[in-house]
Amino acid sequence: MKENLIHRAIDVLDANFQEGGFTIPSKGLYPFQWKWDSGFIAIGLAHYNTDHAKKEIETLLNAQWDNGFIPHIVFHTDDDSYFPGHDFHRSDLHPLSSKKYKSTGMTQPPVTGFVLQDMLRIVEDKEDMLDFIKGQIDKVYDNHVYFYENRDPQNEGLVYIYHNWESGTDNSPVWDDIWDTMNPPEYTFERKDTTHVDASERPSKREYDHYLYIIDIAKQNNYDDAKIAELSPFLVQDPLFNAMLIKSNQALIELYEIIGGNDDKITYLKKNQERSIAAFNQKLWDAELGAYVHYDLRNNTPIRHVSSSSFSPLFAAIPSKERAEVLVNTMMERFGGDDKYLCASFDPTNDRFNPRKYWRGPVWINMNWMLYRGLKEYGYTDIAERVKNDSIELVERDGFFEYFDCRKDTGDETRKGYGGDNFSWSAALIIDLLK
């Protein structure tokens, strides 16, 4: 059974691997290379095809801009089955953008640092992988410098995101409070996602108006970070995004220590690591909710909702033992009932929870993978095992879908997963969980 699932996962990944040396997240729905998808995918690939794993990361990093920025989508082809494409995003507006690759002008959670470390953990030929890492690591370092120098206008140790697509958790109910502060124009455009996936499982047209409007403001300012910090109606310190940066930062420190030399870089990373963790615990912890929350930097207010992003700091060793205990209790009380699979992407006790709609409730395998690792690290072995087994059960029963219903009883015998099918990171991370 286990071997069979691994074989099926490998088939998914192989079918999604493209000639250009990267893996699409899901055929039809997502036909290009996505930043954080590529990272998770490389972890799966490292278990059975080291060349593809290396290629995945190399291809992504080739699209890096001269200021260290790594875009969220690299448009390797002219495929028009996705909206908005490169002609809407116009990365060429930024003076330091890649001249070779068309991309978006926004980024995604910085997973690449810890991915390199995981690739080293997984492969047998450590020396060969270390050689590869030596050739790539400075690009990831430059990316972290980019974040610290350009995405932290008040020099707090926490970086901002300026778009919900940068968070990776696109239509999370967390953003609803921000949409309430905006009134974008009604755009005329042709959605492509809803031709691939049932519209009830995707964001609404009005939500897309908000998404496009924020990009328009960034474009009017040629994707200039300082201008975006000043003008974007969406400016958020996201616990998931910052936890990924902290996790990757730690990985870079440890990898540079193995490589040797690079003392100046290690010093820089350590300095930022310390102040980031301190700021994270100070600013993003909500004692009343017993969870980490997002902070709306534009409107100067915490966004007081619990989501799966609230638990991601466990993966980055951010909470103290005591705080981790409070956090895990919150998770089990709100998300962990016997009638549910762990872990819903949004608080099931909240009115905004929707078990079928994308990031508004369903279970995501990448979030579960991080949660599993974090829980294990803090000694919550039983809960970690439950997260792992729930993930495997869902994929085994429903297929390698993009997201899954967290309710054990949906009242629907013909249930399946939601969103895109043959979804790459679901396959990649199941391989890692099963190995």
Q: Catalytic positions, please? A: 170, 402
Nearest distance from C-beta of residue 410 to ligand 2M8, angstroms:
21
Which residues are CB-contacts of 13 (< 8 A; sequence separation ≥ 6)? 23, 41, 44, 45, 424, 427, 428, 431
Omega cis (within 30) before 343? yes
2, 424 Cβ separation under 8 angstroms: no
**What span, in angstroms and rounded, lies between the C-alpha atoms of 140 and 131?**
15
Nearest distance from C-beta of residue 35 to ligand 2M8, angstroms:
7
By CB under 6 A, name the one of 9, 13, 16, 36 that touches ligand 2M8: 36
Nearest distance from C-beta of residue 166 to ligand 2M8, angstroms:
9
Closer by beta carbon to ligand 2M8, 82 or else 380: 82
Provide the CA 111 distance to its chain's centre, in angstroms.
Answer: 7
Closer by beta carbon to ligand 2M8, 13 or else 137: 13
Nearest distance from C-beta of residue 383 to ligand 2M8, angstroms:
24
Nearest distance from C-beta of residue 299 to ligand 2M8, angstroms:
24
Nearest distance from C-beta of residue 316 to ligand 2M8, angstroms:
18
Q: Kindly report the CA angle at 15 between 131 and 427, in degrees rounded to 5?
A: 75
Q: Is 34 in the site for ligand 2M8 (CB under 6 A)?
A: yes
Q: Is 37 in the site for ligand 2M8 (CB under 6 A)?
A: yes
Closer by beta carbon to ligand 2M8, 156 or else 193: 193
Q: Is 234 in the site for ligand 2M8 (CB under 6 A)?
A: no
Binding mask 171-210 for ligand 2M8 (x = CB under 6 A): ----------------------x-----------------
Q: Which DSSP helix (H) or strand (E) runs through 216?
A: helix 205-220
By CB under 6 A, name the one of 6, 21, 23, 25 that touches ligand 2M8: 25
Q: Is 211 in the site for ligand 2M8 (CB under 6 A)?
A: no
Which among 33-41, 58-66, 174-182, 224-232 is the span making contact with ligand 2M8, rule CB under 6 A?
33-41
Place of tokens 């099918």: 421
Residue by residue, DSSP assigns 147-170 as HHHHS-TT-SS---BSSHHHHS-T
164, 232 Cβ separation under 8 angstroms: no
Q: Is 168 in the site for ligand 2M8 (CB under 6 A)?
A: yes
Place of tokens 């109606």: 233
Give me the residues paired with residue 403 across strands.
Answer: 418
User: Which of the 8 DSSP states describes residue 76?
Assistant: -
By CB under 6 A, name the one of 17, 22, 30, 101 that touches ligand 2M8: 30
Place of tokens 């409007």: 213
414, 23 Cβ separation under 8 angstroms: no
Binding site for ligand 2M8 (CB under 6 A): 25, 30, 34, 36-37, 72, 165, 168, 170, 193
